Each structure stands twice: as C-alpha cells, then as structure tokens.
Amino acid sequence: MVDFGGWDMPVQYPAGTIEEHLRTRNHAGLFDVSHMGEIDVRGADAIAVVNFLVSNDATKLVDGQAQYSALTTPAGTVVDDLLVYRFSADRLLLVVNAGTTEKDWEWISSHRQAGAADLKNVSSDYCQLALQGPDALGILQKLTDVPLADIKYYHFTEGTVDGVPSIISRTGYTGEDGFEVYAAADKGEQIWNKMLDAGNFGSDTGVLPCGLAARNTLRLESSMALYGHEIDENTTLLEANLGWICKLNKGDFIGREALAKQKETGVARRLVGFEVTERGIARDGQEVLIDGQRAGTVTSGSPAPYLKKNIGMAYVPTESASEGQVIEIDVRGRLVSARIVKTPFYKRER
C-alpha cells in the first residue's frame, strides 16, 4: 500500500501489474478510484461560472454528457485536469484529481466569478469504481437495468447498480471501453464485490482488481496525461498537446489571453511520445538529450505491458518534436537511445 494524495492505495493486487494490465486490455479490470474528488455546482449560472474557470467549452455539453477539461492559471498552465458532467442546465459535477482536490477547491473558491451557483466539495460523499475493458459492459449489465449500450462514450446516466442509486458514466483512464460508477461512499464495498462476482473474478478470463501501477501503465500506453507528470502549473495546455480542450473563442476564461498569445507565437517545447530502441527503461524525471545536448525531461516512462516495449513521454524543443527524431535518455548515468513516435502508443480497435 502507498500513500496517494492522502489515500492508502494498493500499487498492485496479488495477480501483479502485468497481468492486471493485460486482463484489462483483453477482458476487464476493476479499479477503486474513490480517491478522486467531486465538486457539485448548482444554480442558474452553474455553466457560466464553471466556463470561466475551465479551458474547454462547458456550454457545448448537453444533459447527460461529460467533457474532459482543465482548470487553468492566467499563464495558461494547469491547476488540474478534470471531467465536467452536465446533469442539467443548473447542475454540474466536476471530477478532479485526489492530490489536488483541496488545491482545486481553494482555487475555484477564490477565482470564481459572481453568479447564481453554489459550489460544494462533495468528495467524501462518493465512491468511484472504474470497470474497464472489452467485457466491462457485459459485466455491469448484470447489475443494472439501464441499457448500457445506449450510453455513448463520454455520456452518462443515473440509475441503479445492484440496487444502489448511481451515476453510470461511459468514461475511463485506460484506453478501453468501460464505465465509471459513482455511488454513496458507504456502498463502495458492496458494488466492488458484486462487480467481481458478476465478472467471474477467479477465472482466467474474469475481471481482475487492478492497482495504481496498472492504472498508470494503461493510461501511459494510451498517452493520457497524468497530473503532476505531463501537466502541472509549469506546463501550458498547448505544450501538452491539449490544444483540443482550449476553446479560445468560447468567451473569456482564466488563461485565455496567455493561451491565445502562445498559440500565435508557437510553443518552444512540446510533449512527445517515445519508444526506447535499445535495452533499458526510461523513468519519470530522467533527462532527455538530443545531439549530446540536454533537451528536456521524461514526464512518464515505463514498460508497456501490452505493447511489450519500453515507452515514455517527454518534453522536447519544438524543432525536435517530430516523429522519427532520435533522442537519448540519461538512465542513471547510462545513455539509452529512443525514438519519437506517434501517439497514442496504443489505440483500441473500435
């Protein structure tokens, strides 16, 4: 068990990270992500108030839709990345990272504009379980009457799971199809156990409980950013290839001006994916060299269990940020060759 944003969380369950990772790709994995923070926003101006704080355009959401977005600083850097759920025109739910929940709450409270919106940190009210993988739909369907196939990707509905009122969201952090279920915190254990039963936990093709390590390798193979690694208050959304969640024409929001300016002048460095081309594993924080010169830093590096390669993401100067560019990683004093490749490293077949 390790401390993760104040939560005791397992790095891995007995099956081990590789098996957990592969099972999620091939069948199903179950993740207890109750550590994630939730902020409830209600009132006639809920959407307008949130829209000023985030980079994506919350006005484009329809009821029952979720959107990936970011809380931005005036410099266009990232306070946190989050999901914005729209229940109705006057009710949103923000789902934020565990380690940043308190910081986000303070940021939002001190930067929100006036308007009819009550914000409440409801993190401790919810548990959150992520059931991910190609078999996730079939497993969850055994526990709910909600026709899951009708929920589109990045949409959600309210219903019951094993009789417990829940938010059922077709979202995830693994690159697989799957669902995230939010319910009352004290129902977490019940739903967890039912999902394991329904998913034939114990059989070779059944669901496996997955720890933080598999959650990290799965998201890295799918090239999803992890707060504190690819993005933080020193990286802008444009540097992190998150221009697609910067809606510069949606109206004013914190960081809009800086991001518009950076878009015009271009970024000096950019986040890229790389594949190690000789023996060795790149790790978070290691230096990147190009032509023998220090050029950047690895933000995440790990073996990729499904792809069976050693991969990573790093910031490099924009002029070197092209596919095929050869880079070197300083792996504890040994220089290891790598090549910039297209991301995502892994993309599931749809």
Partner 1 sequence: MSNIPDDLHYSKDHEWVRVDGNIAIVGITDYAQDSLGDVVYVELPKAGDEFAANESFGSVESVKAVSEVFSPVSGEIVGTNETLADAPEKVNSDPYGDGWMIRVQMSNAGEVDSMLTAAEYEDFTKAETE
Binding positions for partner 1, rule: CB under 8 A? 11-12, 16-19, 21, 213, 216-217, 279-281, 283, 302-303, 305, 332
What are residue 36's phi and psi, to 5 degrees? -60, 150
61 vs 331, beta carbon nearer partner 1: 331
Give the shortest CB-60-to-partner 1 separation in angstroms. Answer: 38
| Single-letter amino acid code for the residue at 48 | A
Q: Which residues contact 199 (CB under 8 A, 6 or more apart)?
A: 28, 30, 131, 135, 139, 206, 207
18 vs 245, beta carbon nearer partner 1: 18
Give the shortest CB-341-to-partner 1 separation in angstroms. Answer: 20
| Single-letter amino acid code for the residue at 173 | Y
List the beta bridge partners of residue 317: 269
- Distance in angstroms between the alpha carbons of the first and the last residue of the chain: 35
Give the shortest CB-332-to-partner 1 separation in angstroms. Answer: 7
> Is 157 in a helix, a strand, or coil?
strand
94 vs 276, beta carbon nearer partner 1: 276
Cβ atoms within 10 A of the Cβ of 132, count?
Answer: 28
19 vs 257, beta carbon nearer partner 1: 19
CB 182, CB 166: distance < 8 Å? yes
Give the shortest CB-281-to-partner 1 separation in angstroms. Answer: 5
15 vs 289, beta carbon nearer partner 1: 15
Give the shortest CB-106-to-partner 1 separation in angstroms. Answer: 31
Give the shortest CB-210-to-partner 1 separation in angstroms. Answer: 12
**CA triple 336-339-345, angle to 5 deg:** 115
Q: Classify strands 7-9 and 178-184 as parallel, antiparallel or unpaired.
A: unpaired
45 vs 330, beta carbon nearer partner 1: 330
The Cα 147–Cα 141 span in angstroms is 7
